[in-house]
Structure 1
Amino acid sequence: MSQHSPDHDDCSDYLERIVFFLDNELDEADCSEVRVHLEECGPCLEKYDLQRTVKQIVARSCSESAPDGLRERVRIQIREVQIRISEG
């Protein structure tokens, strides 16, 4: 552990970068910086864990299919709205 104590400005910068870090959109140098910061900063690590958990839940939810009955009701409602708009 480094003796560096992150300040608020550091954290705001890293909190923005955490999203890119989770999405693997940073180069290796930036990834290393984020990892070091997360090792040193408990509050940012907690926010990282929360973001990662939410991302995993959303990904899992997006892989499920809606039941056929629900899909049909949504199609019907979309069609009704389209008709109302075109008759507008």
Structure 2
Amino acid sequence: MTSSEECANFLEQIVYLLDNELDEASCTEVRIHLDSCHPCLEKYDLQRTVKAIVARSCAESAPDELRERVRLRIREVQIRISE
């Protein structure tokens, strides 16, 4: 495998690593690669940051006014679909 092919393989696995979906051997392999490959480590850090921001944003509740407008819009669409 060339270096770029190897990195592409590890970059695919980063998502699984972040989601705790890799077995222990694969986690170790990915971490060893990240320790020796600065570009992949930067991409890992970026993915981890984005995942944390999305998780934090999803924990916030929408204002009641917005929630009601969304409910009304959904009802309008449902009525159109059923007609």
> What is the TM-score normalised by the length of structure 1?
0.90
Paired position in structure 2 for 1:3 = none
Q: What is the deviation of 1:82?
A: 0.7
Deviations 1:17-48 (A, max 9, x none): 00000001101110000100000001100100
Paired position in structure 1 for 2:17 = 21
Match of 1:10 among 1, 6, 19: 6
Give secondary structure in 2 for the equivalent of 1:47. Answer: helix
Match of 1:45 among 34, 41, 44: 41
Give secondary structure in 2 for the equivalent of 1:51. Answer: helix
Q: Where is the helix percentage greater, Structure 1 or Structure 2?
A: 2
How many aligned positions are there?
82
Which portions of structure 1, spanning 4 or more consecutive aligned residues, are displaced by more than 3 angstroms?
Answer: none
Considering only aligned residues, what root-mean-square deviation do their CA atoms show, in Å?
Answer: 0.9
Query: Once the two structures are aligned, what percentage of the paired residues are identical?
Result: 73
Q: What is the deviation of 1:65?
A: 0.5
Which structure carries more relative contact order (alpha carbon 8 Å, separation 6+)?
1
Consecutive unaligned residues of structure 2, counting only runs of 5 or more, are: none
Aligned pairs (5 A) from 1:29-40: 29-40=25-36
Does residue 83 (structure 1) correspond to residue 79 (structure 2)? The answer is yes
Q: What is the deviation of 1:13?
A: 0.4
